[in-house]
Amino acid sequence: MVALAVAAVFWTGCAHKPVMRPASIVFACADANFYADHLHWTAWTASGATARGTGHQNDCTPNCAAGRFHSFPITVRLSHVVSCVKSRREFARVAWTGPTPGSETLPCSFLELKP
């Protein structure tokens, strides 16, 4: 029996550095006012990944510089594998649960940026 090799799938996100099973993910790249850390990955496959951890979101009241961060349990899901950079497969879609659930799909123009 011949085993088929499955190409690794990475997360590059805001840092633009390919990693597998990152300990943290920043959702708000411009100012890091929303991120998750202490991520424990329960799945990492060629088509998707799931982790649980702690979300941190700035309430930006009265403004983001003076706002307070609030923490909450979060589930993060990565999906939508793309090959925007030659010889690299990466997740382009990130979705999260929490007080304000949401998702974002990163375009190739963002994923192709250099660190």
With contact defined as beta carbons under 8 Å apart, do 52 and 39 qualify? yes
Between the two ends of the chain, the Cα-to-Cα distance in Å is 41
Six token digits for residue 41: 């990955």
d(CA 95, CA 76): 6
Summarised one tens digit per residue, pLDDT across range 3-47 is 444 579 999 999 999 999 999 999 999 899 999 999 999 999 999
Summarised one tens digit per residue, pLDDT across range 50-99 is 999 999 999 999 999 999 999 999 999 999 999 999 989 999 999 999 88
Residue partners of 72: CB distance under 8 A and separation at least 6: 54, 55, 57, 98, 99
Instruction: Supply the Cα-derived Rg of the chain in whole angstroms.
Output: 15
What's the predicted TM-score (pTM) here? 0.90
